[in-house]
Amino acid sequence: MTPTRRKTLLRTIAGNTAKAALLIGSSMLILFLADRTLQLLGYTDRHGFHIAHLPNIRATVDNLEYSYDVATNSQGLRYKEIPFEKDDNEYRFIVLGDSFVEGTGVEAGDTFAALLEQQYSRAGHIVRFINAGLAGTGPHDYLRLFHFIGRKYQPDAVLIALFANDAADSKPAALSGLRTSGCITDFVQKTCLLFPRLCALAQRARGRLKAKGGWKDRLLSQARTNGIIEERITEWQKQIPEQLVRGAEEGRFEGWLIGLGLIEPDYWRIALDIHGPNAEERYNSMIAALGSLVDECRELGLWVGIVLLPAPFEYNAQYGDLWRQSGAVIRSEWLIEETELAKRLSQWSQQRHLPFKSLTPEFRQAQSSASTALHYQLDHHWTPHGHKLAADAILRWLTSAGPQHKSD
């Protein structure tokens, strides 16, 4: 290439770079002005993208089987407001998990995390179990929540509470986890911080599109998209009690408890038996997220422990009929055997030198002589008695396998 052509090429590249920079800068300015205009018009900046719940909310959940109050702190956690900096006489656990940690169906003081905090703390030495549970999430979400929120609290220890369906809910597309450079989570979060009202409008528009039609209409549409034959759809509609469909339509019943048997009948086999190639991919995705979470905790010098929470059909023979009625595969062997999920998590924990505890034996033993229900009849979430049982079992385990506190 001649010197003249080289100079021409460099000038062209420089010109194009300048034009691109001007275009990006102009676009950012337009978006900024549009977002501030929405502010002047009174639009809210609360958007749907968040790592935890929205901050400082107060609400009452009214379900067919229970009613309870929900309140979040400034970080969107179902926990009281405390400073990030801890006192010298404090020891802090971050408890990560889904709705079983958050406490769907019970008051905040009845969750197993709150009960552990009451039982562990003593005069002159406070042990906090910060409830970082988030309903409807899985291990990749636990990783994000800890990275962006949990570590702010200067924790000493992290308790990861896995529910029976965490493997099934870990889709292969999420294998990359959080800790890759330039991850989508970081980008979207920062975009929403720059243009919160535009993000809020986009989220509301997306929500309106998603909410078109009732719950049942959306479910049947999804079933047809998934290739479910009409005969099966008709059979499902005949099998499901109308009161539960109405409850799902009204937001007073978790529709997935009756809809999943139509959409994905092998869901619990994928979750507990790691059944088939797709299940293997989901399990590996879960392990990738857990591995990243454990690595981050250890980089911070934190103790990490894992607890496996059982589904009711792993300890209660009377539960599961509704799932079967909806078309889901529920195996009676799960009542007496150790599931493949439990075996693998135990082995993986040993390989990573992590304390591991499955609560299935305690729930089976308690169910055999229980005079009060450990979980709700239709819903699979624990009652206050179930949370009390979990707290007692975890307390015994932590006493022997948990971290040694500074004052011990």
Looking at domain 58-199+270-401, does it have CATH number 3.40.50.1110? yes
As a whole number of angstroms, the distance between CA 383 and CA 372 comes to: 9
* Distance between first and last Cα of the chain: 75
* pTM over the 0.85 mark: no
The pLDDT score that the predictor gives to residue 18 is 67
As a whole number of angstroms, the distance between CA 100 and CA 37 comes to: 41
The pLDDT score that the predictor gives to residue 265 is 95
Provide the β-strand partners of residue 93. Answer: 129, 157
Residue matched to tokens 């197993």: 112
Burial class (CB in 10 A: 0-12, 13-18, 19+), 369: exposed
The pLDDT score that the predictor gives to residue 383 is 97
Q: Contact, 115 vs 384, CB < 8 A?
A: no
Q: Contact, 177 vs 143, CB < 8 A?
A: yes
Q: How far is CA 348 from CA 13, 146, 160, 287, 343, in A?
A: 52, 21, 14, 9, 9
Using CA atoms of 77, 81, 82, 83 in order, give the dihedral in degrees to the nearest 10: 90
Q: How far is CA 312 from CA 21, 237, 407, in A?
A: 57, 25, 38
Domain boundary assignment for the chain: 1-42, 58-199+270-401
As a whole number of angstroms, the distance between CA 108 and CA 320 comes to: 27
C-alpha triplet 219, 222, 225: angle, nearest 5°: 155
Please name the amino acid found at residue 334: W
Q: What is the pLDDT along the chain (408 residues), one digit of tens a residue?
A: 576 666 666 576 666 676 666 777 677 677 667 666 756 655 555 444 468 888 899 999 999 999 999 999 999 999 999 999 999 899 999 999 999 999 999 999 999 999 999 998 876 789 999 999 999 999 999 999 999 999 999 999 999 999 999 999 987 654 433 433 334 444 555 565 566 666 656 655 554 444 445 899 999 999 999 999 999 999 999 999 999 999 999 999 999 999 999 999 999 999 999 999 999 999 999 999 999 999 999 999 999 999 999 999 999 999 999 999 999 999 999 999 999 999 999 999 999 999 999 999 999 999 988 788 999 999 999 999 999 999 999 999 999 998 975 444
Residue matched to tokens 């990359």: 176
Report helix angle 256-263 to 230-239, nearest 10. 150
The pLDDT score that the predictor gives to residue 176 is 38
Please name the amino acid found at residue 254: E
Using CA atoms of 319, 325, 329, 330 in order, give the dihedral in degrees to the nearest 10: 10
Burial class (CB in 10 A: 0-12, 13-18, 19+), 268: buried
- Residue 192, Cβ neighbours under 10 Å: how many? 20
Q: Which of 256, 294, 226 is nearest to 136 (CA)?
A: 256
As a whole number of angstroms, the distance between CA 390 and CA 17 comes to: 60
Residues 371-379: contacts with CB within 8 Å, 24+ apart?
374/312, 374/315, 374/316, 375/312, 375/316, 375/319, 376/65, 376/66, 376/105, 377/65, 378/64, 378/65, 378/244, 378/253, 378/257, 378/322, 379/63, 379/65, 379/66, 379/104, 379/105, 379/253, 379/254, 379/257
